[in-house]
C-alpha cells in the first residue's frame, strides 16, 4: 500500500468483510454481491429498485 487510494480501498474491503462476518454471527445471510462499478450501471440499478418498490407501495385500485 503506497498510495492513499490503495489504503482507502484496503480499509473499505476490511470494513465490508467485518460487516459480513458480523451479520453471519447474528444469524443473517449477507450476499457477496458487489455494486456495479460504473456510474451508469449504478444509476440503472437504482432506477430499477425504485421502480420495483414503487409498484409494491402503490395502493390497489378498487
pLDDT tens per residue, the chain (62 residues)?
Answer: 789 999 999 998 899 889 888 988 988 876 766 777 788 998 999 999 999 999 877 776 55
pTM, to two decimals: 0.47
The residue among 39, 36, 33, 41 whose CA lies nearest residue 16 is: 33
Count other C-beta atoms under 10 Å from residue 23's C-beta.
Answer: 13
Quote the CA–CA distance of 3 and 8 in Å, as a whole number. Answer: 9
Per-residue confidence (pLDDT) for residue 61, from 0 to 100? 59
The residue among 35, 3, 1 whose CA lies nearest residue 16 is: 35
Per-residue confidence (pLDDT) for residue 62, from 0 to 100? 56
Per-residue confidence (pLDDT) for residue 50, from 0 to 100? 93
Helix ranges (DSSP H) in the chain:
4-25, 39-57
Amino acid at each position: 500500500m503506497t498510495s492513499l487510494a490503495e489504503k482507502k480501498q484496503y480499509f473499505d474491503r476490511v470494513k465490508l468483510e467485518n460487516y459480513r462476518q458480523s451479520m453471519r454471527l447474528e444469524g443473517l445471510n449477507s450476499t457477496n454481491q458487489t455494486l456495479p462499478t460504473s456510474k451508469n450501471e449504478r444509476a440503472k440499478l437504482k432506477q430499477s429498485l425504485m421502480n420495483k418498490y414503487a409498484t409494491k407501495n402503490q395502493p390497489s385500485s378498487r
